[in-house]
């Protein structure tokens, strides 16, 4: 097991908590998944059987809360983010099928300083966000700058090119290293800012 550092945007993680993938049947509902109820119950809503079967074929073990938002189109403020994640996962299956899916992994850093820098740069206006240390295995490092978070084109061809580079382990001109840590992971501690 290796220790990583991440930002809990909602400030809900607690030491000892184990983060697990959520069943894909929960993804195929018409409801928004509730993180508060994640360990005890699925969201309410009607399950689309065909969609549930398709999700099970693609993500049999389940997905993360981030994955649920992407699949259920719950990023209304940024449709580009959803498109990028979809393209990146499609390319992953072709280029690096053994790599962990972004929709089944926690995004983390290998140092607290890197996590703090990312937190300050990207989430400075999130009042509940907290730095946490987690423990996980089988993590892989990628350049998150290739996702297009710096104003890069979101045209599908450009996304596919960056996704191929990402999954092959290539870097951008200004790499920002993230680790994809497949779930389950265990929260070790909530850290002071």
Q: Where are the domains of the chain?
A: 2-191
Q: How far is CA 170 from the centre of its chain?
A: 20
What is this structure's pTM?
Answer: 0.81
Tens of pLDDT, residues 96-121: 999 999 999 999 999 999 998 887 87
Compute the distance between CA of residue 34 and CA of residue 20 in angstroms, rounded to an integer.
14
Please state whether 62 falls in left (phi above 0), alpha (psi between -120 and 50) or beta.
Answer: left
CA pair distance 71, 89, nearest whole angstrom: 11
* Predicted local confidence at residue 112, as pLDDT: 93
Confidence (pLDDT) at 35: 42
**pLDDT on residue 130:** 85
**pLDDT recorded at residue 38:** 44
Q: What is the mean pLDDT of the chain?
A: 80
- Residue 95 is predicted with a pLDDT of 96
In three-state secondary structure terms, 37 is helix
Residues in the chain, pLDDT under 50:
30-46
At residue 138, the pLDDT reads 96
DSSP 8-state symbol, 154: -
- Interior/surface letters 34-64, b for 16+ CB within 10 angstroms, e for the rest: eeeebeeebbeeeeeeebbeebbebbeebbb
The per-residue pLDDT for range 88-101, each reduced to its tens digit, is 999 999 999 999 99
Computed on alpha carbons and rounded to an integer, the radius of gyration of the chain in Å comes to 16
How many angstroms separate the CA atoms of 173 and 84, rounded?
A: 19
């Amino acid at each position: 097991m290796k220790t990583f550092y991440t930002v809990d945007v909602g400030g809900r993680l607690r030491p000892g908590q184990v983060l697990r993938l959520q069943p894909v049947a929960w993804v195929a509902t018409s409801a928004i998944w509730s993180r508060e109820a994640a360990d005890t119950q699925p969201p309410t809503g009607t399950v689309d059987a065909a969609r549930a079967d398709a999700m099970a074929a693609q993500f049999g073990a389940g997905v993360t809360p981030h994955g649920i938002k992407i699949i259920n189109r719950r990023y209304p403020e940024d449709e580009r983010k959803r498109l990028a994640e979809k393209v990146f996962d499609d390319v992953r299956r072709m280029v690096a099928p053994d790599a962990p899916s972004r929709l089944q992994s926690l995004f983390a850093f290998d140092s607290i300083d890197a996590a703090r820098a990312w937190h300050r740069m990207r989430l400075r206006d999130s009042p509940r966000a907290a730095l946490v240390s987690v423990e996980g295995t089988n993590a892989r490092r990628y350049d998150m700058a290739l996702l297009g978070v710096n104003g890069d084109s979101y045209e599908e061809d450009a996304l596919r090119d960056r996704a191929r580079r990402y999954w092959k382990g290539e870097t951008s001109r200004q790499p920002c290293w993230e680790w994809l840590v497949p779930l389950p992971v265990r929260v070790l501690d909530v850290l002071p800012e």
